[in-house]
């Protein structure tokens, strides 16, 4: 089916669910429905879409229809008990591993640990990654997940701010429906970074009997006041852009200037001064425009951050960013009365990975989260990630924890 | 002259320069011109103004006339060798100590260490604090310092972005002229926090023979790439506000929304998650407006930060903020080819105070600054400030270093 498919050296598997296979119906029809000779995942993926006719949010509002993107790596076994769910960060998508095409510049964000023989071994596990609702990258070619930029069939217009506010718990509920559509009732593990960690905590707290292992990365059990304020700062530039127009801009110019500045702040906050000071110097963006002499002239680091932000803004939607800010701010594990109560419901052995130089999720809050889960009698291990990227080390330097993750998954 | 004046218990002094006395000419005329019975500084100050007919910037442009505010605490001695210059931070003014009126809510920002018997003992030292050029608080009642919001007498209109870009070195040159107008030729010490530290480094590097002691607080010898980017983020909200209009807004509505968001970022970056998480919780700003259910509803920490920013924005000018961003970004001690060269020129024994949890000036950069000054053979001591405010501990928790500062000044 593909030149690079390797024959599996491990157990035979049924129902090969290589995402690419499922996507191409013609190919899928060629696959025997019963147990086939197994194939290792070849590293190529295709975005899948799960659709619900209607979804009612936790707060009681209806989104109809609802679409959410997902990808999978590896094969679901017959017992359907080899599932690892991957939940993504604020600016991410469900593209956690692999490439859409062999010449893709970069693979999914956690490709270092997901694949044949890797810590999340696709020869053993069925690794499924799901978009969140209101995915930031509404205009990315592989994202069709529902949010404010989606056309509301009732009006024929984009939802805009009529779209219901959603929470991390809503993200979990949609993922649960996605898994159920594949007959999956329990998770060998749930693992996610940053906003993905929030979804992972929520999964383990809301459905303790269905989550066997919990691996939150660079995230705590609650949006603490520091995070509330940080997220507020991320939202501000969009609101300052006159084109935002209270969220009603789908007929005109989108608030791209504001969106770019928002994403610049996200990039900066998710990094660390160690990264900035080792990666850049005081060079000018343009050797003929001295930033000490011209108000509009910039330094190279400003140009680079502006460039990153501009690329990201092209794929993103401003209202989606504001909705994600709201969802993150609203987060309290269990969405109940207290953090203690929400975390005490977690029964899954937990491996928390975090960075002491994280500027988004205060390390103190992560350690407190670990203590509160342990207080309920659950086993928790915390592992610090080393690096110079601060928060981002949980994404770009995850490989350092690979063997610990592999062992944890086998325990 | 004032009910609360206490008679001095120390040496007699000449030329009492209590700022209040100088400000009221009628009162000043009552003072004997020769050595009078000394009075201790009573804690009340009045803003003074130093004016130059014209000032030519380091880059060769003329500002005419130029005004800069200043305050002084204590008495200049006959030898004029008891002078400590205080240079202020980004959002500050020369109001470093004392009160303008007895019922002022708060005294100047370093009142904890400046006053009779305090570490910067006004019974011994003549402590003089100077505004920077383009002081942020252009609309504060006690600020008349020249900047883009000042009327350019050549046009009868505010300078706006026709005002020359200025540097930390320009701030120093204006302060030097101010001191010379009082016959002061050398400084017992120069001390400043944050942007004030930059001015202090520059003083000691540019005029090593005139600076006897250097006390930089929460600042390094250069605007490193992290600071370049942070400052860039502070400027962005103003530029997003349509009212900014490329800096030309003095005939219309000022870009207050953008200015507020800029100042909110300044407040947030200058603090630390320890402060946010111990000072606030997840309370709502309005008990009837659930921020998880309404896009426009906020949390209490957002409301507080917005409120602080709004108060500060009323006194500030958006172009002044952008000019200060530029001046800070441009900073490299000595403004020469290299940091090594600029810092090697410093001969004054140096006491550096900084915070390991500073999110604005990377502690690594401060330590490197200390090493480079020492490499030139100059004695440097670094002292870490403890606290939960990050960068701001250099302002609000300076008292913890008071005795070390007192001793250093006496060495």
ipTM of the complex: 0.90
pLDDT computed for residue B38 by the predictor: 53
Asked if A232's CB is within 8 angstroms of B293's CB, the reply is no
Whole-number pLDDT of residue A111: 98
Tell me the C-alpha distance between A304 and A265, whole Å: 13
**Which residue in B has a C-alpha nearest to residue A259's C-alpha?**
B240
Q: Are residues A306 and A316 in the same domain?
A: yes
CATH code of residue A276: 1.10.1740.110
Q: Please give the structure tokens belonging to residue A155.
A: 């009006």
Within a domain: B7:
no
B316 & B338 share domain = no
What residues in B contact A257, CB-CB < 8 Å? 240
Domain boundary among the residues A277, A300, A326 is at A326
Mean pLDDT across the stretch A204-223? 98
Considering the domain architecture, whether residues A113 and A238 belong to the same structural domain is answered as: no
Residues B177 and B32 occupy one common structural domain: yes
Residue B38 sits in a domain whose CATH number is 3.40.50.1820
Do A136 and A74 lie in one domain? The reply is yes
pLDDT over 50 (residue A26): no
Q: Chain A residue closest to B261 (CA)? A: A236
Q: Is residue B157 part of a domain?
A: yes
The answer to whether B359 contacts chain A (CB < 8 Å) is yes
Per-residue model confidence as pLDDT tens digits over A94-138 = 999 999 999 999 999 999 999 999 999 999 999 999 999 999 999
Model confidence band, residue A376 (pLDDT cutoffs 50, 70, 90): confident
Q: What is the dihedral of CA A161, A167, A171, A174, to 10 degrees?
A: -80
B14 found inside a domain: no
Average pLDDT over residues A172-176: 98
Q: Which of A268, A293, A326 is the last residue of a domain?
A: A326
Confidence class of residue A39 from pLDDT cuts 50, 70 and 90?
A: low
Selecting among A16, A194, A205, A357, the annotated active-site residue is A194
Q: Chain A, 170-209: which have a CB under 8 Å from a chain B CB?
A: none
Q: What is the pLDDT of residues A284-336, one digit of tens each?
A: 999 999 999 999 999 999 999 999 999 999 999 999 999 999 999 999 999 99
Say if residue B216 is in the same domain as residue B245: no
* Active-site residue, B104 included: no
* Mutate: best of B148, B160, B228, partner A, most A CBs <10 A: B228
Distance from CA of B23 to the nearest CA of A (A): 37
Phi-psi region of A287 (alpha: psi -120 to 50; beta: other; left: phi over 0): alpha
Query: Is residue B51 domain-resident?
Result: yes
> Does A12 reside within a domain?
no
Phi, psi dihedrals of residue A32, rounded to the nearest 5° = -65, 145
Same domain for B65 and B166? yes
Among residues B408, B403, B17, B360, which one has the least CA distance to residue B218?
A: B360
- Full residue range of the structural domain in which residue B45 is found: 19-224+331-410
Query: Chain A neighbours among B 134-173 (CB < 8 Å)?
Result: 161, 165, 167
B247 Cα to chain A: minimum distance (Å): 10
Indicate whether A30 pLDDT > 50. no
Q: What is the DSSP letter of A187?
A: B
**Chain A residue at shortest CA distance from B305:** A229
Q: Work out the mean pLDDT of chain A and round it to a whole number.
A: 91
- B274 with B377, same domain: the answer is no
Indicate left, alpha or beta for B316 from its phi (over 0: left) and psi (-120 to 50: alpha): beta
* Of B32 and A349, the one with more pLDDT: A349
Listed by number, the residues of chain B in 318-337 with a beta carbon closer than 8 Å to a beta carbon of chain A are 322, 326, 329-330, 332
Which residues does residue B70 pair with via DSSP β-bridges, in sequence order?
B48, B130
Contacting B residues, span 299-318, partner chain A, CB-CB under 8 Å: 299, 301-302, 305
Tell me whether residue A108 is in a domain.
yes
Asked, for residue A2, whether it belongs to a domain, the answer is no
Q: Is B344 on the interface with A (CB under 8 A)?
A: no
Asked if A306 contacts A298 with a C-beta cutoff of 8 angstroms, the reply is yes
A176-204 mean pLDDT:
98
Burial of B4 (0-12, 13-18, 19+ CB in 10 A): exposed
How close does chain A come to B323, measured CA to CA in Å? 8
CA distance B356 to B218: 9
Same-domain check for residues B369 and B247 = no
Average confidence (pLDDT) over A387-391: 97
| Residue B342 and residue B265 share a domain | no
Residue B15: predicted pLDDT: 33
pLDDT digits 0-9 by tens, A143-160: 999 999 999 999 999 999
Question: How confident is the model over A266-284, as pLDDT tens digits?
Answer: 999 999 999 999 999 999 9
Asked if A364 and B274 come within 8 Å (Cβ–Cβ), the reply is yes
pLDDT tens digits, one per residue of A357-368: 999 999 999 999
Shared domain for A182 and A271, answered yes or no, is no
Residue A22 has pLDDT above 80, yes or no: no
Residue tagged active-site, from A111, A121, A170, A358: A358
Choosing from A278, A310, A326, the residue where a domain stops is A326
Contacts of A233 in chain B (CB under 8 A): 261, 264-265, 268
Domain count, chain A: 2
Is the pLDDT at A345 greater than 70? The verdict is yes
CB proximity B261 to A under 8 Å: yes
Q: Considering only residues 14 to 73 of chain B, which have any Cβ-Cβ distance to chain A shorter than 8 Å?
A: 59
* Spans in chain B with pLDDT lower than 70: 1-39
* One domain for residues B57 and B127: yes
Task: Please report the pLDDT score of residue A40 as a whole number.
Answer: 78
Nearest to B17 by CA among B130, B39, B119: B39
Strand partners, A40: none
Radius of gyration of chain B (CA): 21
Which stretch of A3-12, A77-86, A110-119 has the lowest confidence by average pLDDT? A3-12
In a domain, B321, yes or no: yes
Q: Is there a contact between A270 and B233 (Cβ–Cβ < 8 Å)?
A: no
């Amino acid at each position: 089916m593909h030149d690079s498919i390797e024959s599996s050296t491990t157990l035979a598997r049924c129902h090969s669910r290589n995402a690419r296979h499922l996507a191409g119906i013609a190919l899928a029809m060629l696959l025997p429905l019963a147990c086939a000779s197994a194939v290792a995942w070849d590293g190529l993926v295709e975005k899948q879409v799960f659709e619900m006719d209607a979804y009612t949010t936790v707060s009681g509002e209806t989104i109809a229809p609802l679409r959410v993107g997902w990808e999978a790596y590896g094969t679901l076994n017959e017992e359907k008990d080899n599932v690892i769910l991957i939940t993504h960060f604020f600016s991410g998508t469900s593209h956690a591993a692999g490439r859409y095409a062999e010449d893709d510049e970069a693979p999914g964000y956690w490709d270092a640990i997901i694949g044949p023989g890797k810590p999340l071994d696709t020869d053993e596990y069925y690794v499924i990654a799901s978009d969140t609702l209101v995915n930031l990258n509404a205009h990315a070619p592989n994202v069709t997940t529902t949010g404010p930029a989606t056309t509301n069939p009732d009006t024929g217009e984009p939802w805009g701010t009529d779209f219901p506010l959603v929470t991390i718990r809503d993200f979990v509920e949609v993922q649960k429906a996605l898994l159920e559509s594949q007959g999956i009732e329990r998770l060998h593990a749930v693992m996610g970074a940053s906003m993905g960690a929030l979804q992972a905590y929520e999964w383990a707290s809301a459905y303790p009997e269905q989550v066997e292992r919990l691996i939150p990365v660079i995230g705590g059990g609650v949006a603490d006041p520091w995070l509330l304020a940080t997220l507020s700062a991320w939202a501000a530039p969009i609101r300052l852009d006159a084109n935002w127009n209270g969220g009603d801009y789908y007929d005109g110019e989108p608030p791209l200037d504001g969106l770019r500045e928002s994403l610049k702040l996200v990039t900066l906050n998710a990094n660390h001064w160690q990264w900035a000071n080792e990666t850049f110097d005081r060079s000018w963006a343009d050797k003929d425009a001295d930033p000490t002499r011209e108000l509009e002239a910039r330094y190279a680091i400003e140009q680079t951050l502006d460039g990153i932000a501009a690329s990201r803004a092209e794929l993103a939607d401003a209202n989606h960013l504001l909705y994600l800010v709201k969802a993150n701010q609203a987060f309290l594990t269990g969405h109940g009365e207290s953090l203690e109560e929400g975390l005490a419901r977690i029964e899954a052995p937990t491996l928390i990975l975090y960075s002491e130089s994280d500027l988004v999720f205060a390390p103190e809050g992560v350690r407190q989260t670990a203590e509160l889960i342990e207080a309920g009698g659950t086993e928790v291990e915390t592992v610090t990630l080393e690096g110079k990227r601060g928060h981002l080390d949980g994404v770009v330097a995850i490989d350092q924890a690979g063997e610990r993750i592999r062992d944890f998954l086998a325990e």
